Structure 1
Amino acid sequence: MSTTTPEKLTKAQKTVNKSSSRTRARSSPLSWIAPLVVFAIIIGIWYYVSDVVLDPDLQFLLPPPHQIITQGFGDPDIREEILVALGRTTKVALVGLAISILIGAGWGILMSLATWAERSLFPYAVILQCIPILALVPPIGFWFGFGFFARVLVCILISLFPMVSNTLFGLQSVERGQLELFQLQKAGRLTVLLKLKLPAALPAMFAGMRISAGLAVVGAIVGDFFFRQGTPGIGSLLSNYASRLQGPPLFAAILVASFLGFVIFWVFGRLRTLVVGRWYDLSADGN
């Protein structure tokens, strides 16, 4: 019959108390009042710069928020144009992100299996991250055309590295004691990977997914901005509105693009909470 020591009870009680305190902090009024206050400050500064700092002839550089709503989102033609472009950009970003997650996770797993693989492959991941993507966009267009595939390829190049590095970091952050326990049980390499390393790496992998999600949206917009041919997305609208000096529609498209990145980032945050949030938070509090 097992006995529970006072030390174990104290540690468990501390974990429960920390978890309860964190839950109360998230549900407190300050957790939603503070963002509203920051939002009000941003809007106030925005109006001050637009109405006071800028000359009336230059107000198109930063139109006041109400003009963005009335002349951007309020215009049926502009709104429909932005929504259609948003759908195309979202499709490119999600496909590029999915491929980046698959390639990045596989790349990181391969490097974690052997030291020689990490030494051979990781430098190329760093080089890929350091390549100025804007210099590669024109050749990609010439080699692969200006359609859907080329735009997805730009997304992959921009969003791949965080997934590779975070996967490798998560797989290598397994506690040595747990690894030695598996080795004592003579577990095979595949068993160690599936039952120990991958579960332990999930928090880091989801962090990489969230970073890659935002970069995938940037990649979709960058590719669309330079690929003037094919079906236009948000990037094409940004280029068109900027060339025509249409301030309110331009900022409306910018806000929509930013909102798309935020939504994808938030979705992966929720997935992380659903998959690993509860047990990972409790284990982190217990350390």
Structure 2
Amino acid sequence: MTAVEHRPTGTTETAAPESTVPPAGGGGAAPVVRRRRKTVGNALLPLAVLAALLGIWYAITYLVLDPERRFLMPPPQDVVTEAFLDGPAMERIGTALWQTVVVSFTGLAIAIVIGMTWAVLMSQAKAAERSLFPYAVALQCIPILALVPLIGFWFGFGFLSRVIVCVLIALFPIVSNTLFGLQSVDRGMHELFDLHGASRLTRLRKLQFPAALPAVFAGFRISAGLSVVGAIVGDIFFKQGTPGLGIALDNFRSRLQGPELFAAIFTAAALGIAVFLLFGWLGKLAVGRWYDQTRDA
């Protein structure tokens, strides 16, 4: 015989709803794990590519090249011991690096001033754009190597000519990106400024320039790398004045100094990457995080 439970009349028993709250400490674990895996993957993938490139390098040095021709591609350990760890060689490369930095940043600064002024003039009127933009395209299309001898005849073969080569190479990305940014402002914002009777200068300063900053700094990043290329090209062709990386590269090549040549090449590449990252960082400081539209995969 079972006991019967008596409940007060008129009451009903309802089942308690199942809890939908996740257990404590488990709700945010999956995103954290995914972020960690993504971070590890981002670090390992470049290392894997580097290991593959080193493997190809070793294979070419020891399997393809004859021993008497290995100066054409010395093994990585020779580049480290005979160049990067060699005091006189690194002193020459360091002096040349500083000269290239001075030339490239001087040319880049002049290109920024000229390019942004050029783009602002074209953004103010369609007639100005139709008149000036074809010359920017023509400047981009003319091979710079065809202009280098002419620049040397006109301006000599020293510091000024190297800077001019940097300006010519770095100018077009700044012009095109700045113009694109200035012309990409929403039409509704222009109409709002029209309603308030804003002047052309006010519109440019408070509307167009802030909206164009992402495109402007994208152009700066491209031109920063190109200015390094221009400084090295000018060095190789002019070969006068204080030697930069271009002259160092040419000297190592003519003397068949393979490790030093590779060290100079890696130094030039590191300089280009450094200035690219520098202007990327400056762009983030200027633009902020509002323009970042990326999402975690």
Does the alignment pair 1:70 with 2:81?
Answer: yes
Q: Output the CA distance in 2 between the equivalents of 1:186 and 1:126.
A: 35
Out of 227, 232, 236, which is 1:221 matched to? Answer: 232
Q: Output the CA distance in 1 between the equivalents of 2:141 and 2:271.
A: 25
Does the alignment pair 1:99 with 2:135?
Answer: no
1:258-273 to 2 correspondence within 5 Å?
A: 258-273=269-284
1:196-235 to 2 correspondence within 5 Å?
A: 196-235=207-246
Give the 3 Å change call, closer, same or farther, for CA 26–216 of structure 1 in structure 2.
farther
Does the alignment pair 1:186 with 2:197?
Answer: yes
Equivalent AA in structure 1 for residue 105 of structure 2: L
Q: Output the CA distance in 1 between the equivalents of 2:225 and 2:120.
A: 23
Higher relative contact order (CA 8 A, sep 6+): 1
Deviation of 1:195 after TM superposition, in Å, equals 0.7
Deviation of 1:27 after TM superposition, in Å, equals 7.0
- Aligned partner of 2:18 in structure 1 is none
Runs of 4+ deviating beyond 3 Å: 23-27
Equivalent AA in structure 1 for residue 84 of structure 2: F
- Aligned partner of 1:242 in structure 2 is 253
Out of 85, 90, 94, which is 1:83 matched to? Answer: 94
Deviation of 1:277 after TM superposition, in Å, equals 3.5
- Aligned partner of 2:130 in structure 1 is 119
Equivalent AA in structure 1 for residue 132 of structure 2: L
Deviation of 1:62 after TM superposition, in Å, equals 1.4
Contact preservation (8 Å) 1:97, 1:155: yes
The 3-state SS of whatever aligns with 2:289 is helix
Give the 3 Å change call, closer, same or farther, for CA 25–144 of structure 1 in structure 2.
farther
What is the aligned length? 264
* TM-score normalised by length of structure 1: 0.88
Contact preservation (8 Å) 1:25, 1:31: no
Note the alpha carbon deviations across 1:145-172, whole angstroms, 9 max, x for none.
Answer: 1111111001001110000000000011
Note the alpha carbon deviations across 1:236-255, whole angstroms, 9 max, x for none.
Answer: 01111111111111110000
Q: Output the CA distance in 2 between the equivalents of 1:58 and 1:176.
A: 64
Does the alignment pair 1:52 with 2:63?
Answer: yes
Q: Which moved more, 1:181-190 or 1:123-132?
A: 181-190
Q: Output the CA distance in 2 between the equivalents of 1:217 and 1:131.
A: 19
Q: Output the CA distance in 2 between the equivalents of 1:34 and 1:91.
A: 34
* TM-score normalised by length of structure 2: 0.85
Report percent identity of matched pairs. Answer: 61
Q: Rg larger in 1 or in 2?
A: 2
- Aligned partner of 1:176 in structure 2 is 187
- Aligned partner of 2:176 in structure 1 is 165
Equivalent AA in structure 2 for residue 252 of structure 1: A
Deviation of 1:57 after TM superposition, in Å, equals 2.0
- Aligned partner of 1:275 in structure 2 is 286
The 3-state SS of whatever aligns with 1:280 is coil
Q: Output the CA distance in 2 between the equivalents of 1:62 and 1:153.
A: 33
Q: Output the CA distance in 2 between the equivalents of 1:26 and 1:119.
A: 51
- Aligned partner of 1:7 in structure 2 is none
Structure 1 stretches of 5 or more lacking a match? 1-19
